[in-house]
Amino acid sequence: MALLTTALSLIFPFIFYQFCMPMPFRISSLPAGHIAHPGIFTIIEDIIAVDGGGGVKFREELVARYDASPLFRRMLHRLDGFWGFGALICGGVVTALLWILPDAVGYGIGALLDCWLAFPRSNSASLFYF
């Protein structure tokens, strides 16, 4: 469920940004009525400024970078779409499988993945191979 929630939190700003729609309410440092920024922008802004201790100075510099660089804006918008729709597809597939498969199989797959990911590999490329 968290994957679907994350997907929607990226897809809605993606759509608002795509159609240059104003946000109906305040999000992070953007006031209500401001043209939407990509959802990734808000995540970067909040995590680094608040949790990372960057503060108001970081927010101002990030907004200045965003306003000055069309390439940066396009990259963040594409990341919104890629991560948002990818998470929606992945979450939908996982949810469908959990409804279709018997409980024991679902728990077994979860336990196998936990064990597989818990043990470190000799290099990072081997993470993707059994």
> 8-60 pLDDT, tens per residue?
989 998 998 899 888 888 888 788 888 888 989 988 888 888 888 888 888 88
Return the closest-CA partner of residue 14 out of 34, 32, 53, 40.
40
Q: What is the pLDDT of residues 63-97, one digit of tens each?
A: 899 999 999 999 999 999 999 999 999 889 888 88
Q: pTM higher than 0.75 for the full model?
A: no
Of residues 110 and 91, more confidence is placed in 91
Tell me what the mean pLDDT of segment 1-8 comes to: 86
Rama region for 28: left / alpha / beta (φ>0; ψ in -120 to 50; rest): left
User: pLDDT band at residue 128, thresholds of 50, 70 and 90?
Assistant: low
Measured from the Cβ of residue 49, the count of other Cβ atoms closer than 10 Å reads 20
End-to-end, the C-alpha distance of the chain in Å comes to 27
For residues 80 and 125, which has the higher predicted lDDT (pLDDT)? 80
Task: Give the pLDDT confidence score for residue 130 in this predicted structure.
Answer: 47
Output the DSSP codes for 20-67. TPBPSS-BTTBPTTSBPPPHHHHHHHHIIIIISS-HHHHHHHHHHHHH
Per DSSP, the residues of 63-114 read HHHHHH-HHHHHHHHHHHHHHHHHHHHHHHHHHHHHHHS-HHHHHHHHHHHH
Q: What is the pLDDT of residue 74?
A: 93
Judged against a pLDDT cut of 80, whether residue 120 lies above it is answered with no
